[in-house]
Chains A and B, each alone.
Chain A
Amino acid sequence: MGTDKYILQIEELSKSYDKKIFALKDFSYKLESGKICAVVGESGSGKSTLLKLIAGLERSDQGQINMGDQILCNDQIHLSPQKRSVGLVFQDFALFPHLRVKENIAFGLAPGSHSKIEQMLKAVRLEGYEDRFPSELSGGQEQRVAIARSLVREPDLLLLDEPFSNLDTNLKSELRHEIKRLIKDLGLSMIFITHDIYDAMDIADEIIFLKEGKIVRQSAITDIFKAVKDKYVKENMEELKRSAETILSMIPK
């Protein structure tokens, strides 16, 4: 799988919950191996549905998802979440509250994988916290455990659902860079959803704007200001420009 150019290929994926309004409609997308993609959109734009479909937590109405040369789902096939090489970090982290940090990380591993757990604790800088319960951790530490728990199973693709929404500003910035470092060090691919354009600007290689279940803009992060047509994307870009200009005007020359 590692030799393929694209780790993930989605073709004409649709999902509707009530057979009338589509959470996702004819969604097609390809993610290159080793890249980070940010999915930006308002509430109800279909961001979470996209992650759930990739993870196998929801069934699509039509379309196909491939990971490397493996079909994850199409009209006939639905691979269970257990059989997909996908890690998902939930918005609320979904740590098992009755298990210690090391037990949470070991949950998806075969018994006796101590060295892997130690390596992962080191990678997410949580050495010394292994015997704590999730309730004894800060928000940032909880998130690192959730990431470690997903990464320790060595997935080919990591998905993150609004990973920074519960964190304060300082911690946000620190964690954004830490996650980027981890993903790049481990040579993984990642899709994360956010409603905050700054998150996307900071760590993503490419960006998708979703609106009513459809892609309204897809570009490399470096081309984000080029040839913007959609109103929603335009508004976002203008807001971004205004903030940048305000900040620049405050910097003494």
Chain B
Amino acid sequence: MVTMGILLGIPLFSIGINLFDGVGDMWNHILEYFLLEYISNSVYLLLGTGIICSILGVSTAWIVSKYDFKYRKLISWLLYMPLAIPSYIVAYTYVGLFGNGGSLILVLQQLGFELQKIEFMNTPGLIWVLSISLYPYVYASLRAMFSNYPHALRDAAYLLGANENKYFFKVALPMAYPALIASLFLVFMEVLNDYGAAKYFGINTFTTGIFRTWTALEDLSSAIYLSAILLVLVFALMRLNRWMRSRRSYAFKMKEISDKGDRRIKLEGRRKYVAYFILSIPILFGLVLPLGQLMHWASLNMEALYSSELWEVAFQSVTLASTAAILILLFALVLLYLSRWNYIKSLNFFSRIPAIGYVLPGAIIGIGIIRSSQEIINFFQDQLGLEVGYLFYGSSFILVYAYIFRFMAVAYNPIEASSLKLGKGLSESSYLLGANRWRTMLKIDFPLIKPVILSTFLLVFIDLMKELPLTLILKPYNLNTLALNAYAYADDERLVEAAWPALLLVAMIGLLMIILNRRTKMNSN
């Protein structure tokens, strides 16, 4: 467990160690012209997406959990779906929709609006694109929270004279702060991880800066320094998240029994139309319009659908993502069981090291791995006379390793939670009945956590299919994924050609999200 923890934590340690090598040649140039911009843009993006995601996520979650209206179930499901479209793809479609001669601009012109374009390729535009792609994190978390409130809380508030507004602002919303803070933290990590959308809109952020410093300026040492500054920002956000949640963790003592029966308030009249209007905004701008634009582009390039290139790329994507997902699950299970069986509890700290990967932007992990792999290659060559460079740069080995570090927490946390929920009682009964640890694991634990393992596989698979920055840094020359393909075409302004890989990616993620949703419902039943 200690070895695994340390091995998987190499990218993180590498950044720390290499800081002592000093700054690179371009550092002064970065310091003078870019650093302030990276910091200010990243802070603006965090603040902007934080505010918009909160407004969109909280309002939609509140409406679908507390009110009843026609198509509520369909709408509440559609509100998750913008998560199926990666933000970099939303970014390209917005240019196709709102740019010069954009599809929606043409429609608006025909309706009599004198518009040439709506400018999205700026910081507020990027804030909107990231918010509309990432608000489902807030929505999902808050919806679960609001739906689980005991009705007695609302009844108590009403009997104490509160109206709906007072109940929302004084009781329901403050009680949801821990969930809101936790989901915003996920949003912030995604914002800091974003490369594709920011690069396409030409906004300099830390992540685009790290790429630029490493590729265009060819200064790996300065890229590591930038990564370290970003790392400080990430850890500061982590501390803030923990501190805010620890101050606001409320024990829920009320029995579920008080919640029985559907007591959503039926919306009628003007309030119903206001609710439909609010709910339609994220669905329209986060799902319908981007998907419509992709379909429009795809229809202009139907021959791509029959080309072998598209399907080869899709096959590579699925193979890579499924291989990595299986490995991630295996590592998560091994780490979990090693920490459960280990009697020296202080060593369990090492099992948490890979979990840090999920909060680290891909660019940091990528740079950390590039740096450390060079040293490993040199070590093998100088000390043992072995050429291992091809293993690092000619295969997907290093990329899969990076995926394991980046996405370990996505697999580890739900499996650990499910295992903790089962408790020790069952395992202990099994031991007392004469079964050893392995038999207990295979015959008792695995069958019981199997549904969660399958759901977790889907969750990790979705994340891997969407992944861009890490894949971009660490991919071998002959590897292509749907995400990379869509990004590469769009980056070359070949938006029509980017449509099919993007559409295929969105369709696959969408389908997996539907399956995941059903599985989650089955598991909870």
Residues of A within 8 A of B70 (CB): none
In whole angstroms, what is the CA distance A142 to B253 when docked? 11
B245 interface hit (Cβ, 8 Å): no
Chain A residues 73 to 116 lying within 8 A of chain B, measured CB to CB, are 80-82, 84, 86-88, 90-99, 107-108
B420, CB-defined interface residue at 8 Å: no
Contacts of B253 in A (CB 8 A): 92-93, 97, 134-135, 142
Q: Which residue of B lies closest to A133 (CB)?
A: B250
Contact yes or no, B162 A82, CB < 8 A: yes
Contact B175 A94 (CB under 8 A): no
The reply to whether A55 and B159 form a contact with Cβ atoms under 8 Å apart is: yes
Whether B19 is near chain A, meaning CB under 8 Å from some CB there, is: no
Within 8 Å of chain A (Cβ to Cβ): is B258? Answer: yes
A96-B258 in contact given A82-B163, A90-B155, A108-B161 (Cβ < 8 Å):
no
Question: Is the CB–CB distance between A81 and B152 below 8 Å?
Answer: no
Candidate in A84, A88, A92, A94 with the most chain B CB atoms within 10 angstroms: A94
Measured CB to CB, the closest approach of chain B to A113, in angstroms, equals: 12
Which of A57, A86, A98, A150 makes the CB contact (< 8 A) with B250?
Answer: A98
Measured CA separation A94–B157 after assembly (Å): 9
Instruction: Note all chain B residues with C-beta closer than 8 A to A57.
Output: 155, 158-159
Q: Is the CB of B175 within 8 A of A98?
A: yes
Within 8 A of B (CB), among A130-146: 133-135, 142
Q: Answer whether residue B174 sits at the interface, using C-beta atoms and an 8 A cutoff.
A: yes
In contact, B258 and A81 (Cβ under 8 angstroms): no
A149 within 8 A of B: yes
Given the known interface contacts A94-B152, A97-B253, the answer about A88 and B159 at a Cβ–Cβ threshold of 8 Å is: yes
Given known A90-B152, A91-B258, A92-B152, contact A97–B159 (CB-CB < 8 A) = no
B258 adjacent to A98 (CB under 8 Å): no
Interface residues of B in 258-286 (CB under 8 A from A): 258
Chain A min CB distance to B236 (Å): 25
**Inter-subunit contact B155/A81 (CB<8 Å):** yes
| Docked CA distance A135–B248 (Å) | 12
Question: Does more than half of chain A's interface fall in helix, strand or loop, or is it mixed?
Answer: loop
In the bound complex, CA of A108 to CA of B167 (Å): 11
Residue pair A98, B174 in contact (C-beta under 8 Å): yes
Q: Does A153 contact B (CB under 8 A)?
A: yes
Q: Is B252 an interface residue (CB 8 A)?
A: yes
Contacts of B155 in A (CB 8 A): 55, 57, 81, 88, 90, 94
Candidates B153, B158, B248; contact of A82 at CB < 8 Å: B158
Within 8 Å by CB of B175, from A87, A96, A135, A142, lies: A96
B158: A residues at CB distance < 8 A: 57, 80-82
Q: Which B residues are CB-close (under 8 A) to A153?
A: 160-161
Give which listed residue, A90, A135, A142, contacts B156 with CB less than 8 A. Answer: A90
Q: Are A98 and B156 in contact (CB under 8 A)?
A: no
Known contacts A91-B258, A98-B174; A81/B251 CB under 8 A: no
Residue B170 at the A interface, CB < 8 A? Answer: yes
Contact for B157 among A86, A107, A135, CB less than 8 A: A107
B254 CB-CB contact with A under 8 Å: yes
Do residues B255 and A107 form an inter-chain contact, with CB atoms below 8 A? no
> Whole-angstrom distance from the CB of B252 to the nearest CB of chain A?
6
- What are 30 of the A-B contact pairs (CB < 8 Å)? A55-B159, A57-B155, A57-B159, A80-B158, A81-B159, A82-B158, A82-B161, A82-B162, A88-B159, A90-B152, A90-B155, A90-B156, A91-B255, A92-B150, A92-B254, A94-B150, A94-B156, A97-B252, A98-B174, A98-B175, A98-B248, A98-B250, A108-B159, A108-B162, A133-B250, A135-B251, A149-B156, A149-B160, A153-B160, A153-B161
16 A-B pairs besides A55-B159, A97-B250 with CB distance below 8 A are A82-B159, A82-B163, A92-B254, A93-B254, A94-B153, A94-B155, A95-B156, A96-B156, A96-B175, A97-B251, A97-B252, A98-B174, A107-B160, A142-B253, A150-B160, A153-B160
